[in-house]
Amino acid sequence: MRNFFLVFCLLISFVGSTQEYGKQISKALCSKDFFGRGYVKQGDSIAARFLDSEFNKFNIDPYPGKSYFQ
């Protein structure tokens, strides 16, 4: 029972941190720094580079190919 409680607490803390990370990413992408993520002032390219750097932080391999960009 003690092990179950420990695993449960670890799982809850992981889910909470994942949700917080998701909120941070959403907040960043909605910020004025990305100019609405549109082609005006190349906000789409800025957002794409931001996501590229986030994927690289977690060593997420692009699929398929060698790049995240289309």
Could you give the angle at which helices 43-57 and 2-29 cross, rounded to 10 degrees? 160
Predicted local confidence at residue 1, as pLDDT: 45
Rounded Cα–Cα distance for residues 21 and 36 (Å) = 20
The 10 Å Cβ neighbour count of residue 34 is: 19
pLDDT in tens, 13-66: 555 677 788 888 888 888 888 888 777 788 888 888 888 888 888 888 887 778
Q: Is there a contact between 29 and 47 (Cβ–Cβ < 8 Å)?
A: yes
pTM for this entry? 0.67
